[in-house]
């Protein structure tokens, strides 16, 4: 029975390059003395009395740990005893912090639901508000807001007039219908209490330093976690009912009413935003490693659209390049695809992407590998970050009676890849900058 060669060097190379991209967005590397200098304001005329940390999302705990560790190394910039806080992570994340991190001593960690919010997400917002109110923040204090992908669900208290059930139904529909993060968060940032700068209503006169790890493909950081530190701009265009056909007129009206109130809000918060890492950071790390491994001039592509179409496109581009290049070559792609769930199988966008990719390899005469993985370590409702395929995967699947079209029709990519041991398994990585794909052709 034909097998995928799990010891093929090109597979090892792809894994190594992908992990290098992941390492480039590791909070432990990002939070350094230089960042502390920017936060603490080494040359500020006034001494900051307290540093209060709040945060949400998949990187909230790792960032909190990195901040506390950096403070211990640099007490001249940020005295560890001045730190306190509370951060919210997705359920299950509290117990999965990698061993290289130290669990925070001065910052509490609570959990909210993800990707669909529930009452724990509301409770997390209320506990954060209570913490900030009891802090009695003054202009001598600094709030460090740790913002990362996943925060829209973990900090999801609906605005007045909207029920949690309505917010849950909207989220579920968008997830199943292939809605992307920008589409969801354009509305969610107006429908949740902390969205669109809502956090700033509770930071008082304190200075706010927002540290952002972006999981969106644009430079609009107000989309990340629904923008808890970003007030909407004046003249924000209203949302029409036609743009969200499954959303009630009540939700649209409430969102637009809040947009008007926020754009006119007299929030006096002193906010500085710091983009710590995004998808470009991971791509840059993967490119450097690809050159180091022996792929001299890697190409880059943007990853978007339906996962199965993106997978086919990756292989077609790889094949096209290989026809005019006899040596090893690499394509590094970053972004995020979507999946329209129509079947009852188990899978995720990255696994569906590589399954679609392998069916385009049946005519190649070169050794190829396509690996796609979510930088958060989680792909859809599975425990895998993604998967990988080679030019032999199609034959291996078919020898087991697994036909690619049927796999895709059932949205059952996880089941198929697990049967041939082609999953990328990392567990939660405690960072999140969308997806990263590594596509390689070995030397002839």
DSSP strand E in 29-140: where?
A: 50-56, 83-90, 107-112
159's CB contacts (< 8 A; 6+ apart) are: 190, 191, 192, 193, 254, 258
Crossing angle (nearest 10°) for helices 33-40 and 60-73 = 90
Second-level CATH architecture of 27-277? 3-Layer(aba) Sandwich (3.40)
Whole-angstrom distance, CA of residue 63 vs CA of residue 361: 41
Question: Mind giving me the DSSP string for 153-202?
Answer: HHT-PBPTT--HHHHHHHHHHHHHTT--HHHHHHHHHHHBTTTTTGGGGG
Phi and psi for 376 in degrees, rounded to 5? -85, -5
- For residue 254, name the pLDDT band (cuts at 50, 70, 90): confident
CB 331 within 8 Å of CB 298: yes
Confidence class of residue 391 from pLDDT cuts 50, 70 and 90? very high
**pLDDT band of 365, cuts 50, 70, 90:** confident
pLDDT tens figures, 64-90: 999 999 999 999 999 999 999 999 999
* pLDDT tens digits for range 289-339: 999 999 998 999 999 999 999 999 999 999 999 888 888 999 999 999 999
Task: Report strand pairing: 435-441 vs 329-335.
Answer: antiparallel
Prediction pTM value: 0.92
Instruction: Share the mean pLDDT of the chain.
Output: 90
Identify the H or E element spanning 435. Answer: strand 435-441
- With bands split at pLDDT 50, 70 and 90, how would you rate the model's confidence at 16? very high
Q: How many CA atoms lie within 13 A of 228 on its CB side?
A: 33
Domain boundaries, the chain: 9-20+280-441, 27-277
Least Cα distance to 55 among 28, 26, 84 occurs for 84
Rounded (10°) CA dihedral 318, 321, 327, 331: -50
Q: Kindly tell me if the per-residue pLDDT of 3 is higher than 60.
A: no
Is it the case that residue 55 has pLDDT exceeding 50? yes
DSSP H or E stretch at residue 406: helix 404-409
Domain spanning 9-20+280-441: CATH 3.40.1480.10: yes
**Residue corresponding to tokens 């005019």:** 324
- Name the one residue in this structure whose structure tokens are 């130290």: 102
């Amino acid at each position: 029975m034909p097998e995928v060669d799990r010891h093929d060097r090109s597979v090892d190379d792809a894994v190594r390059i992908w992990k290098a991209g992941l390492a480039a967005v590791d909070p432990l590397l990002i939070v350094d003395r230089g960042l502390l200098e920017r936060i603490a304001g080494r040359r500020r005329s006034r001494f900051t009395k307290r540093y209060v940390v709040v945060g949400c999302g998949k990187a909230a705990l790792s960032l909190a740990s990195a901040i506390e560790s950096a403070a211990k190394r640099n007490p001249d910039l940020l005295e560890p005893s001045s730190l306190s806080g509370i951060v919210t992570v997705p359920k299950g994340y509290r117990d999965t912090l990698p061993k290289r991190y130290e669990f925070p001593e001065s910052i509490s960690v609570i959990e909210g639901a993800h990707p669909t919010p529930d009452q724990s997400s509301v409770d997390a917002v209320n506990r954060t508000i209570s913490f900030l109110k009891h802090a009695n923040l003054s202009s001598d204090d600094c709030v460090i807001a740790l913002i990362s992908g996943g925060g829209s669900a973990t900090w999801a208290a609906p605005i007045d007039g909207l029920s949690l059930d309505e917010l849950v139904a909207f989220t579920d529909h968008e997830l199943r219908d292939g809605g992307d993060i920008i589409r969801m968060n354009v509305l969610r940032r107006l429908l949740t209490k902390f969205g669109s700068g809502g956090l700033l209503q509770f930071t008082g006169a304190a200075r706010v330093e927002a540290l952002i790890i972006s999981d969106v493909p644009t430079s609009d950081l107000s989309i990340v976690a629904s923008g808890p530190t970003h007030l909407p701009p004046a003249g924000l265009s209203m949302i029409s009912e036609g743009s969200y056909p499954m959303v009630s007129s009540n939700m649209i009206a409430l969102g637009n009413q809040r947009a008007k109130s926020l754009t006119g809000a007299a929030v006096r918060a002193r906010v500085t935003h710091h983009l710590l890492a995004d998808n470009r950071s991971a791509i840059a790390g993967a490119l450097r490693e690809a050159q180091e491994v022996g792929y001299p001039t890697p190409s880059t592509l943007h990853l978007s659209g339906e996962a199965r179409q993106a997978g086919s496109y990756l292989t077609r581009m790889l094949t096209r390049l290989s026809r005019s290049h006899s040596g090893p070559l690499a394509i590094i792609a970053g972004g995020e695809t979507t999946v329209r769930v129509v079947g009852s199988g188990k899978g995720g966008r990255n696994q569906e992407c590589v399954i679609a990719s392998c069916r385009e390899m049946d005519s190649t005469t070169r050794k190829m590998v396509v690996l796609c993985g979510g930088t958060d370590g989680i792909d859809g409702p599975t425990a895998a970050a993604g998967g990988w395929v080679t030019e032999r995967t199609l034959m291996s699947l078919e020898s087991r009676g697994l036909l690619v079209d049927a796999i895709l029709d059932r949205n059952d990519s996880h089941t198929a890849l697990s049967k041939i041991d082609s999953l990328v398994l990392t567990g939660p990585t405690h960072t999140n900058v969308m997806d990263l794909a590594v596509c390689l052709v070995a030397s002839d």
